[in-house]
A and B are shown apart, each in its own frame.
Chain A
Amino acid sequence: MKKLFYVSIIIAIAAAFFASSHPDGLDFVSEKFGFSEKGQERGAVMAGYAIPHFSEGRISSSLAGVAGVLITLSIFWLAVFVIKKRKFDIKRNIILLSFSVVLISLPVFAARPLVTDDIYTVFPGGYELEIGYSTTQNQASSINSANLSIKRGILSNVDLGIEVPYTMSTPSGLNDVFLHAKYRFWEGDAAEGLTARVDYKFNNGNINQGLGSGDSDYGFLLIGSKMFGLTKTHFNVGYVLTGVNAGIQSDDYIAYTLALEQPVWGEKGEVVAEYVANNAAQPNPAFIQLGARYIVSSGLKIDAGYSKGLNSNSIKNSATVGVHWEI
């Protein structure tokens, strides 16, 4: 193989000395039929196969040829280097079936039943408590689980939260616990703003029993909200760094969601809809959720939602009911 490399170098050097300087086939045709001037001259490091700042001529041209050979070769060497470094961790072959995986992308810190978070934080010194129950049909199995989420407002634009998921169907037990910090760094006049959220997922779930992902994850989320008329829209874009030796997931991924909230029945209720997806596998796991909230009194809401997976990498469907309480 090395000999082939020497052959290439020799050809590149020799080309400068022996190659014909006549125009090639296309140049010839373009000159003959008078459209060659339409071609735009473009600059490049070694435009016209010559080394920059070097006397034009055969030496310069052969050096440029050798440089080209080395550059071409290095593309493939670089490819091997990059592939090896990434260990060719092709996401598409790791088909994710656990519902928690889709949720790992975005824990349910958001106002139930949505997974998509909004820009708002709990007011300083206040608490927000959410309890939910959901039953999920996966592609292969079904899981019933309960979720407890507590948030505390620290500043007018900062809150902290913890979320504890518990699987009730077999295998039952505690799932991986999440922590989060939320910081609203920009707020506009018309109920619009931007919030950043950092999540940390523990690896307390017992992976040998099928609980949790087996490693801790970090998530970084950008949240944007804007109101159009009475309809609130929220979008989330997040990057999740997953633990490398995770049982279910072994590569980082991007999560993206979009949600709509529309007040109905004279502010007594809200209907919500959202699209949730991540690129952890191909096709991207994704589901849509439709839900409603009933406002019992200020600070207390009951809600329900139904989700449907959009492809074979997602959940089949899921139903959830819960309570949202602000103190």
Chain B
Amino acid sequence: MHIPDGFLDPKISTGLIGAAAAVLGWSLAKVREVVTALKPAEAFAGAGRNAGNIIGGMKRVLTGEGERLIYKMGMVAALVFAAQMFNFPISSGTSGHLIGGVFAAVILGPFAGSIIIAAVLAVQMLFFADGGLLAIGANIINMALFGTMLAYYIYYLIKRIAPEWLAIAGAAWASVPLAAFVCAVELGSSGTIPFEIVVPAMVKVHMVIGIAEALITLALVNIFRNLQKR
């Protein structure tokens, strides 16, 4: 579902780059809160009266746990990258591949998840010409915001009333047509192709791809949790 350059109106792509930057900024701020801890700045220790001049003489320091979390994010990103290369065939000469947003978000939370997916998209765009340069904002919005963060919210809602595996499967399935729908809306508003054609076409194909996404996500989450237990 990587939009190449040329499909979108430049105004829409640049606007979406701004929106993607905002989403990533929010996610980075949230992750920073987790991977760091507030510690009193050393310099203030002997500051005597001067300390009174300073409110919150604290600074954020990366914790050991936080460092491990970032490495874990790297591992998950690498796995998502590899899994996205694996195109599986679906009916009528079409293939699909994993988004992996729900996998990343279930394992490490929606904010780390969106950063992971954005990192994967950036690597694909920069090194593999997969997805356009200007379209990077659209791709991040589709897959890291809708396919990861919003899909995580679906997972959260289902989990409250149903077993977790159902929540994972449901959210993973929904994430694909959801991202495809947003992608179709972007294509439609760019005037590339009329809404009434692209929206049903995109959503229909991706409802099928979503089934594979759900199965793979369930398998990956299980593998990951088993590896973690050891």
Where the two chains meet, the residues of A that have a C-beta atom closer than 8 Å to any C-beta of B are: 1, 3-5, 7-9, 11-12, 14-16, 18-26, 28-30, 32-33, 35, 38-49, 64-65, 67-77, 79-80, 83-84, 87-90, 93-98, 138-141, 171, 207-210, 214, 245-248, 250
Contact = CB atoms under 8 A, between A and B. Distances in A.
A8 B82 contact: yes
Contacts of B52: 140, 210
Nearest to A24: B95
What class of interface size applies to chain B in its complex with A?
35 or more
Contacts of B1: 24-26
Contacts of B77: 72-73, 75-76
A264 to B, nearest CB: 38
B38 A93 contact: yes
Nearest to A141: B53
Contacts of B170: none
Contact of B53 (A15, A89, A210): A210
Contacts of A30: 7
B41 A94 contact: yes
B206 A12 contact: no
Contacts of A48: 128-129
Given A69-B82, A93-B38, A210 B56 contact: no
Contact of A38 (B49, B123, B192): B192
Contacts of B56: 93-95
Q: Which 7 A-B pairs have the closest CB atoms?
A: A76-B74, A44-B129, A47-B129, A15-B85, A39-B4, A20-B95, A20-B89
A19 B60 contact: no
Nearest to B93: A22
Contact of A1 (B97, B123, B227): B227
Interface in B16-70: 32, 36, 38, 41-44, 46-50, 52-62, 67, 70
A38 B7 contact: yes
B205 A25 contact: yes
Contact of A250 (B43, B67, B80, B227): B43
5 contacts: A35-B187, A68-B123, A210-B50, A247-B44, A248-B53
Contacts of B96: 24-25
B62 A8 contact: no
A94 to B, nearest CB: 6
A213 to B, nearest CB: 9
Q: Which of A15, A41, A98 has the most chain B CB within a 10 Å cutoff?
A: A15
Contacts of A71: 123, 127
B94 A39 contact: no
Contact of B193 (A33, A77, A80): A33
Nearest to A7: B79
B144 interface: no
Nearest to A71: B123
A188 to B, nearest CB: 36
Contact of A245 (B43, B62, B202): B43
B83 interface: yes
